[in-house]
Structure 1
Amino acid sequence: MADKLKITLVKSPIGAIPKQKATVQALGLKKIRQSVELPNNGTTKGMIQRVNHLVKVEEI
C-alpha cells in the first residue's frame, strides 16, 4: 500500500453541487490539471470518493 496519493483535477467543478466544490477546494485543487500529494488515509479516500468523477488518483 502506498504512503501517498497523487490527486489531479481533470474536470471542472463549475457544474457540481456545492458540497463537491467545497471538497475539491479542501483537497487543495484550484485549476484543472493541478496535482497535489496527500497521505493515503481514510479521510483522503472519503474525500476522493465524493468527487471521483472530477479527479484522477495515482498511488505514489
Structure 2
Amino acid sequence: MEKIKITQIRSLIKRPKCQKDTMKALGLGRMHKSVSHKTTPQILGMIKKINHLVVTENI
C-alpha cells in the first residue's frame, strides 16, 4: 500500500475547531512537523479538509 507524507505549513491559530481536531487526528499540531500515513480514503478525506494548511507528497 502507498504511503503519504503530510507536513504542516500553516498555523492553527484562528482556525475552526473541526480543522484543529482533524490536524490532531493526523498527528500534527506544530509548524513544519511531518507524519506519514498509509493512503486510505479516510486519510485522503482528512487531507482534503485541511489542504490549505498542509503539503503532501507520496513516498
Distance in 1, Cα, partners of 2:20 & 2:13: 8
Kindly state the Cα deviation for residue 13 of structure 1 after the two structures are TM-superposed.
1.1
Number of aligned residue pairs: 59
Runs of 4+ in structure 1 off by over 6 angstroms are none
Contact 1:13 1:21 in 2 (8 A): yes
Contact 2:6 2:57 in 1 (8 A): yes
Q: Percent identity?
A: 41
TM-score normalized by structure 1?
0.93
What RMSD in Å do the two structures reach over aligned CA positions?
A: 1.0
- 1:1-58 per-residue CA deviation (whole Å, 9 max, x = no partner) reads x710000000011111100000001000021000000000100000000000000000
Gaps of 5+ in 1: none
SS in 2 for 1:45: helix
TM-score normalized by structure 2?
0.95
SS in 2 for 1:14: coil
